[in-house]
């Protein structure tokens, strides 16, 4: 058995990372504009002000996707492009941009997968309190309504929030990302609670107003502990670690997914966070707990885990020389087998890999091409593990490679290139990398072009931590 017949093969981007035209077309500032303008926040003082200038190049970018044989495109809408202050009035020019984008995607027979929020929070709303404000879920729901009313006659696939762990953890607790806050844990978890409410209200809004029957999910993220061997004890140790909520940060899956899927915070998490956990009502938990259609997972990294001698899970460290990407993320393809497996096992909902990919040291060669054999190898290895998840019985519905284009990698600026397509930022010239053609072929053949067997050699020999 290989990938299901209706499997979705796509590529992903996000608004602030590619659009540019940051202060044009009536767009209002987001927290990322301000963060980038603050000296010392972003590598090299880079900003998303121009980036890939996708705002002006969207039509040829869509053509490019079509030429590559890609059938689905996950993009995000910039809230402050559509509502410059985060609230009404609506900026017609901003909304019109997404209208045109969706039309050109459909014309090219590419299915739009729309993410409502990928971190570019309206600055004006942030100044009113942002995600800490008790009205923030309603602000988000009203924005959602504007987008749904405009685009749901053509868009069927919706994602509410991208990686809440990141924009809350990095944005509000450690301050590495915009808005750069360093809140104590209880305030961080209050902001987190409001994002969950925002998710729930947005799902209700989509469900009640969408013109085409909607398919709704969201896109949490995490590093995946994977069993060091296939023996049941190690699998159990990895599972336990995957769902564990740590006491002092927001990097975990259960705190985010249990409220959405089960209508309650996980007991172990409530215990771990103790007095820092937010106050909540039953009605709020019911709002968060809306039926959704799939769980998106943004998965990049992982590590091996086994049952230790004292019975508790033990994480294994990778040995020196383990393959890593340009931004020093260890390769760990098994993340794409076990992340979907554990998630599907716990909640029983279909899973979509909403992001996966790597930064490589890419440049245009003398022959005018971009040769990125490492990315091709990365994608093949990860996809083969995803295929194993399918064989294990996990309902995996799709896979989106991060990213279509090289782009603005948040606090790292333009240092890392994640694209299947190389971008020369000085000329805006796009050059599909070798991996882009390879991935297009994989998509066209529904994965049949992948190597048949699992890799002979383990990628990541592990030693005891
Ligand atoms: C994810 C983000 C995405 C991109 C990739 C590399 O955490 O969702 O915007 O930065 O990492």
The predicted pLDDT at position 453 comes to: 76
Per DSSP bridges, beta strands 215-219 and 421-424 are unpaired
Active-site residue flag, 111: no
Structure tokens at 385: 């593990």
Report the SS3 class of residue 63. Answer: helix
pLDDT in tens, 219-272: 999 999 999 999 999 999 999 999 999 999 999 999 999 999 999 999 999 999
The residue from 19, 284, 314, 355 that is catalytic is 355
Residue of 294, 292, 419 whose CA lies nearest to 353:
294
Residue of 424, 412, 419 whose CA lies nearest to 36:
412
Cβ neighbours for 252, distance < 8 A, ≥ 6 positions apart: 165, 222, 243, 244, 245, 246, 269
Q: Which residue's C-alpha comes closest to atom 2 of ligand 1?
A: 163
- As a whole number, mean pLDDT of residues 396-418 equals 98
| DSSP states of 425-443 | TTTTEEEEBHHHHHHHHHH
The residue from 163, 284, 385, 409 that is catalytic is 163
From 166, 219, 357, the mutation candidate for ligand 1 (largest count of ligand atoms within 8 A of CB) is 166
- As a whole number, mean pLDDT of residues 277-282 equals 98
- As a whole number, mean pLDDT of residues 69-84 equals 98
How far is Cα 401 from Cα 120, in angstroms, rounded to an integer?
A: 21
Ligand 1 centroid–CA 405 distance in Å is 12
Residue 461: is its pLDDT beyond 50?
A: no
The predicted pLDDT at position 187 comes to: 98
The predicted pLDDT at position 189 comes to: 99
Q: Which residue's C-alpha comes closest to atom 4 of ligand 1?
A: 409
How far is Cα 138 from Cα 125, in angstroms, rounded to an integer?
A: 12
Active-site residue flag, 355: yes
Cβ < 6 A, ligand 1 pocket: 14, 17, 162-163, 166, 221, 298, 355, 402, 409-410, 418
The answer to whether 394 and 346 are in contact (CB under 8 A) is no
pTM over 0.85: yes
Ligand 1 centroid–CA 105 distance in Å is 22
From 13, 17, 30, 402, the mutation candidate for ligand 1 (largest count of ligand atoms within 8 A of CB) is 402
The predicted pLDDT at position 455 comes to: 57
Residue of 163, 160, 182 whose CA lies nearest to 172:
182
| Structure-token match 């140790």, residue found | 237
pLDDT in tens, 293-352: 999 999 999 999 999 999 999 999 988 999 999 999 999 999 999 999 999 999 999 999
| Structure-token match 């994480």, residue found | 315
From 74, 176, 410, 418, the mutation candidate for ligand 1 (largest count of ligand atoms within 8 A of CB) is 410
Delineate the domains of the chain, giving CATH numbers in brackets.
8-460 (3.20.20.80)
CA dihedral for 247, 253, 259, 262, sign (positive or negative) = negative
């Amino acid at each position: 058995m290989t990938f299901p017949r209706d499997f979705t093969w796509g590529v992903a981007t996000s608004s602030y990372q590619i659009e540019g035209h940051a202060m044009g077309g009536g767009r209002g500032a987001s927290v990322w504009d301000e963060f980038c303008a603050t000296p010392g926040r972003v590598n090299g003082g880079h900003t998303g002000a121009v980036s890939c200038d996708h705002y002006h190049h969207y039509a040829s970018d869509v053509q490019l996707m079509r030429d590559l044989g890609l059938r689905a495109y996950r993009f995000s809408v910039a809230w402050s492009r559509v509502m410059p202050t985060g609230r009404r009035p609506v900026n017609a020019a901003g909304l019109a941009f997404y209208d045109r984008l969706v039309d050109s995607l459909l014309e090219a027979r590419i299915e739009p997968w729309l993410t409502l929020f990928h971190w570019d929070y309206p600055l004006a709303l942030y100044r009113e309190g942002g995600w800490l404000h008790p009205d923030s879920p309603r602000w988000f729901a009203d924005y959602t309504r504007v987008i749904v009313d405009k685009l749901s006659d053509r868009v069927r696939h919706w994602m509410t929030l991208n990686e809440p762990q990141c924009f809350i953890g990095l944005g509000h607790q450690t301050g590495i990302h915009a808005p750069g806050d360093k809140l104590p844990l209880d305030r961080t978890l209050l902001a987190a609670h409001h994002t969950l409410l925002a998710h729930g209200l947005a799902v209700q809004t989509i469900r009640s107003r969408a013109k085409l029957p909607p398919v709704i999910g969201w896109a949490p993220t995490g590093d995946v502990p994977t069993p060091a061997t296939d023996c049941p004890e190690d699998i159990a140790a990895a599972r336990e670690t995957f769902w564990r909520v740590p006491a002092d940060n927001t990097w975990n899956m259960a705190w985010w997914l249990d409220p959405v899927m089960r209508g309650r915070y996980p007991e172990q998490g409530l215990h771990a966070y103790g007095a820092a956990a937010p106050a909540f009502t039953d009605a709020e938990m019911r709002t968060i707990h809306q039926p959704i259609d799939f769980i998106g997972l943004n998965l990049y990294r992982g590590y091996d885990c086994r049952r230790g001698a004292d019975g508790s899970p033990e994480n294994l460290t990778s040995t020196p020389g383990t393959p890593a990407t340009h931004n020093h993320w260890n390769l760990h393809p098994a993340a794409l087998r076990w992340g979907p497996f554990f998630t599907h096992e716990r909640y029983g909902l279909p899973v979509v890999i909403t992001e996966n990919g790597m930064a490589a040291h890419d440049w245009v060669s003398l022959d005018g091409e971009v040769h990125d054999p490492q990315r091709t190898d990365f994608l093949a290895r990860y996809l083969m593990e995803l295929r194993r998840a399918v064989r294990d019985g996990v309902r995996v519905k799709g896979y989106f490679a991060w990213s279509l284009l090289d782009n603005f990698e948040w606090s790292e600026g333009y240092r890392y290139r994640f694209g299947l397509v190389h971008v020369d930022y000085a000329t805006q010239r796009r050059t599909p990398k070798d991996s882009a053609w390879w991935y297009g072929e994989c998509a066209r053949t529904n994965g049949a072009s992948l190597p048949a067997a699992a890799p002979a050699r383990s990628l990541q020999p592990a030693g005891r931590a």
